[in-house]
Structure 1
Amino acid sequence: MGCTTLLVGRRASADGSPLVARTEDSSNGSFDPKHVVVVRPEDQPRVYTSVLSRLRIELPENPLRYTSVPNALPDEGIWGGAGINAANIAMSATETLTSNPRVLGADPLVDLVPESGAPGTPDHRPERPGGIGEEDMLTLVLPYIRSAREGVERLGALLAEHGTYEMNGIAFSDVEDIWWLETVGGHHWIAKRVPEDHYVTMPNQLGIDSFDLEDAEGKGHDHLASRDLRSFLETHHLDLTLRDASLDPSAGSSAGAPAGAPSPHVLNPREAFGSHTDADHVYNTPRAWSMQRTLNPTSEDWDGPGPGNRPESDDLPWSRRPERRLTIEDVKDVLSSHYQGTPYDPYSAHGTEAQRRAFRPIGINRHNALAILQIRPDRPESSRALQWIAYASNPFTTLIPMFTNVDEAPEYLATTTAQVSTDSFYWTSRLLATLADAHFADAIPLIERYQLTTLALGRAAVHATDGTVCRPPHSAADGSSGGDGSSERSVPSVLAEANTTVAEQIRAETDQVLGAVLHTTSNLMTNRFSRSDG
């Protein structure tokens, strides 16, 4: 499953919020309808069973309420995608990653092994469950954590105990930090704290490009990992970093080592655990190039002949400092990119047909959902968290903001069934994108006006709600009135009403633009004929 992740540290964002954003994309030829739900503590299972791997896990007591963007059709499990819990901790799960044979041979993935042979016969082998995967991770972790670091530690413990059947990247955020975890083989993992003034681009490849083992084994200030990661690296000769012999700890003192030489404790996980295949160069690395080209337009010669900053480059940095502070709108634009301004844009008249189809765009037809998770440091805890939601192909869709300290998602975001219906934001977004794509040049002005109008509506709704929410001096932990009569309604009820109001406003705009695009594209059908029937 292809996805694209963008992480923005709090000192790189416009309002000081850490931003965690990811498009969840279905596999080629399939589409997974999504909806937004709020999972209350009483609805969280106490024993969880994975649909795909059939793994059964007992869960802790006292889960927190949390939001989720699961599959609307649960035939393959939950696939919660992204959410924020009642402690204002955000989680995005997952970004599918690449690996290499050395890693998968050293620590094989934990696949489901079906039952074989007839029971009671010598050749009978009972079913062996697989590990955990994208289907499971949000449900197993988000309700039980109170910091981003706790998220890394809980998921790391689950991976060590149960393993996984796929390589994944997972983001956790609290009001200060974003941590990014990457699975390494079946049971191992590494995690790194995103620099506060940087953003991170993740396009389906194992991405961390520098990792300090000494920090991970010690204070864990910026790095965490499986406890046996160093021995795992050494036993299977996975660390490919070329170091000066004087830096080898077994050779004694490293005095006299050349300036800038690699530390014996720092490795490049991309080289150790990742991949640099021809498939990466058409499917993965061009997306990192596009994101960094957009957010650092003058920092590099992005279109020059040099090998370091091309769409096929293997050494684009995992994180970098943007040229200016980034906004929610920047994140949406970057995750809607189809290589505008380059010969690789499939909608452009420039470039050759081969160039226009050379690389996988970020804004692709098979987006299921986009979630941007925002924890705002300048707001009370009762209204601090926002989850911005878009469905379907991002170049043609818009975001709806949702305050997460609520017990129920607005109907327009939550109502998705197998039947196509304009009562659903998911299905309306899918219809809109499909109609507009077929006649891009004629429809895109309508789409751009729609996006400007609806994003402004979302911003205005958030500002108005922030002005309405006044936390009483003696308020309860959940934001409800403390009984001093200073608030007639609880904060969650105010937020729920605001969520519904803005969703309905954007619903009206979405219905209107759908009609306009339908009219425009109907007049451009292949079987049109201009002579009137007299």
Structure 2
Amino acid sequence: MNTTVGRSSCTSILIGKKASLSGSVIIGRNEDAKTAWPKHLAFNLHQEKKNNHFKSKDNKFELDLPETIFAYSSTPEWTDKYGVFEEDGINEYHVAMSATESAYANDRVMAVDPFDTEKGILEEAMVTVVLPYVKTARQGVKRLGQIVADHGAAEADGILFADRDEAWYMEIGSGHHWVAERIPDDSYAIVANQLAIQEIDFNSEDFMYSDGLQEFVYQNHLWPQDRPFIWRDIFGTHDDSDLHYNTPRVWSGQQLLTPSVEQAPESFNLPFTRKPDSPISSQDAQRVLSDHYNNTVFDLTNAKNKNSATFRPISVATTQESHLLELNGENMIHWLAMGVTAQSVYVPFYPQGTKVPYTWKNGKETYTQNSAYWVFKLAGVLVDRDRSKYGSALSNTQSATNAKLLQLRHQYDEKLKQETDLAKQVDLVNEANSKLAKTATDAYQKLTAKLITEQTGDSPLRFKMDPNL
């Protein structure tokens, strides 16, 4: 894993089409690494490229690629010095991918099939070498699985795939072994830095897995042959840090979507998939990825909970960006929230755009005014100075901005339905993306101006002056 960037703490969600309110397949994730590490939005155009070859800047992994590169959206790092880290996107064939949910494999497995940190595939390369070359979610799983078989994996990861019909979650558990499970249409899954898939049915089309997986496990005495094949028990970890860092986030997400089921936050038996009590909207999914144990004793935004907040929340200061990739018929939405999810808003971009709004392709490690990432981060930093005093200004801005964004997206959806000329459709998409981006950043710049103005009175140097002096 890239220690400079420190990938280690994402949270993911996958929603089947019959579990969602709109009939969409939805996958999403908070990308967590550092408190000041900007992301950009990118629209990568369809192209033909001879001698197409990928060579990692993070390790020695390299791969020859097909000449035809499908168009796709992505969120690369502000610098490629440590790797590309495109992380997430939707391609022209309505395939979505998010990579990765970092995980950990146990020592027993690592002893017999360790990760190839020198030449194996890493998180930074996965979207780049898979998403532009597949036409279905299943193809995405198979392509990445073949890369792991041929080149090895450098780390334990969870990878999300979706198309208009299916959502798949794939987990790499050792140097050459992996499994993938299709999320049931009527269910959802929430994952938090653990290998999460449970029993594997080797006779079901709802599972895919590496060649020789069963033989590998049984020959190395990693699991009894007469018991159900429980992936996360065989390959995963069960230590004390999981109980404070990982399982509570899964519990929190499941409490939000299935409150009828009582569970303990420190349970190793939380199911991988669960049915929601009510159909899940995009906003419900956003609420999950924005969660910080709101209004509970574990809520870090309440100063009173400083000593009792023992569980790591879903939304944290190290979130670089959060995304939800929604697929429904011909409609595709790349929801993107820059910075801390709980302090940002999700902008419903059209992934088939060709022009990135100006501020969404800017931003370096040091603060600049012309970066969307830093626009949202600055507002959050100012609110954090006294959330009890300024939190309402943030929530009011979020509510008003979300309403405007939804209205704007609906208006352009209707315009696109009426337009049959492909060139004019692209123009409409670019126009929509520009307006959506500007609506969000304008609102947060206005919030920042309000916060700075009000905070001029918070100086410790205030003193009651004699009006006669």
Regarding TM over 0.5, the answer is yes
- 1:280 and 2:242 matched: yes
- Aligned: 1:293 with 2:255: yes
Q: Secondary structure at the match of 2:307?
A: helix
The number of residues matched between the two structures is 460
In the alignment, structure 1 residue 98 sits paired with structure 2 residue 104: yes
Question: Does the 8 A contact of 2:121 with 2:154 survive in 1?
Answer: yes
**Which residue, 170, 173, 177 being the options, matches 1:184?**
173
Of 452, 457, 463, 1:518 maps to 452
- How far apart, CA to CA, are the structure 2 residues paired with 1:343 and 1:240? 42
Deviation at 1:227, TM superposition (A): 1.3
Gaps of 5+ in 1: 113-129, 216-220, 242-247, 249-263, 301-308, 482-488
Query: Take 2:68 and 2:358, find their aligned partners in 1: how far apart are those partners?
Result: 27
Contact 1:12 1:321 in 2 (8 A): yes
Residues 148-176 of structure 1 deviation map (CA, whole Å, 9 limit, x = unaligned) = 00000000000101111110000110001
Deviations 1:67-108 (Å, cap 9, x if unpaired)? Answer: 110001121110001000011110000000121001111211
> What residue number does 2:4 align with?
none
**Aligned-partner residue type, residue 362 of structure 1:** I
> Residues 214 and 497 of structure 1: is their aligned pair in 2 closer, same or farther, counting only changes over 3 Å?
same
Give 1:327's aligned amino acid: S
Tell me the amino acid that sits aligned with residue 321 of structure 2: A
**Partner secondary structure for residue 212 of structure 1:** coil
What is residue 324 of structure 1 aligned with on the other side?
Answer: 278
Asked whether 1:494 is paired with 2:428, we answer yes
Residue 297 of structure 2 aligns to a residue whose secondary structure is coil
Distance across 1 between alignment mates of 2:316 and 2:48:
34
Deviations 1:166-206 (A, max 9, x none): 10000110001001100011111100000111110101111
DSSP-derived class of the 2:221 partner:
coil
- Which residue does the alignment assign to 1:39? 44
Partner in structure 2 of residue 355 of structure 1: 308
**Deviation of residue 495 (structure 1)?**
0.8
Please tell me the residue identity of whatever aligns with 1:424. S
Cα deviation, 1:264-323, whole Å, max 9, x if unaligned, reads 5x42111111111111111111111111111122321xxxxxxxx222111111110111
C-alpha displacement at 1:43, in angstroms?
A: 8.3
Alignment partners' CA distance in 2, 1:150 and 1:532:
76
Q: Provide the residue aligned with 1:206 in structure 2.
A: 195
CA distance in 1, matches of 2:214, 2:253: 33
Give the deviation of 1:531 after TM superposition.
Answer: 4.3
**Separation in 2 of the partners of 1:239 and 1:31?**
43
Q: Find 1:406's aligned residue among 349, 353, 358.
A: 353
Question: How far did 1:418 drift?
Answer: 4.2
DSSP 3-state at the match of 1:233: helix
Amino acid at match of 1:524: D
Q: Which amino acid aligns with 1:354?
A: N
Write the distance in 2 (CA, Å) between the matches of 1:38 and 1:285.
Answer: 35
CA distance in 2: counterparts of 1:11 and 1:520, whole angstroms: 47
Give the unaligned 5+ runs of structure 2: 1-6
Q: Name which of structure 1's ranges 40-49 and 428-437 shifts more when overlaid on structure 2.
A: 40-49
Measure how far apart 1:110 and its partner are. 0.2
Aligned residues of 2:48 and 2:68 also touching (Cα < 8 A): no
| Cα distance, 1:407 vs structure 2 | 1.6
Spell out the pairing of 1:222-233 with structure 2 (5 A cutoff): 222-233=206-217
- The Cα shift of 1:416 comes to 2.2
Do 1:179 and 1:194's aligned partners in 2 also have CA atoms closer than 8 Å? Answer: yes
Work out whether 1:314 is the aligned partner of 2:268.
Answer: yes
Residue range with higher mean Cα deviation, 76-85 or 524-533: 524-533
Contact 1:194–1:200 (Cα < 8 Å) also in 2: yes
Find the aligned partners of 1:225 and 1:64 in 2 and give their Cα distance.
26
Contact 2:47 2:70 (C-alpha < 8 Å) held by counterparts: no
Q: 1:150 to 1:523 in 2, by over 3 A?
A: same
Instruction: Determine the structure 1 residue equivalent to 2:3.
Output: none
Q: How does 1:168-183 map to 2 (within 5 A)?
A: 168-183=157-172
* Alpha-carbon distance, 1:526 to partner: 3.9
CA distance in structure 2 between the aligned counterparts of 1:440 and 1:62, rounded to whole angstroms: 50
Out of 87, 92, 108, the residue aligned to residue 93 of structure 2 is 87
**Which secondary structure state, in structure 2, belongs to the residue aligned with residue 104 of structure 1?**
helix
RMSD between aligned residues: 1.8
How far off its partner does 1:508 sit? Answer: 1.5
Identity %: 31
Q: 1:520 and 1:432 mapped to 2: Cα distance? A: 13
**In the alignment, residue 435 of structure 2 is paired with which amino acid?**
T
Q: Taking structure 2 as the reference length, what is the TM-score of the superposition?
A: 0.94
**Dislocated runs of 4+, deviation >3 Å:** 41-45, 525-534
Larger radius of gyration: 1
Give the letter aligned to residue 143 of structure 1: P
One-letter amino acid matched to 1:445? S
| Distance change (3 Å), C-alpha of 1:408 and 1:273 | same
Task: State the Cα deviation string for residues 382-423 of structure 1 (Å, max 9, x = none).
Answer: xx2110111111111111111011222222322223442232
Tell me the SS of whatever aligns to 2:286: helix
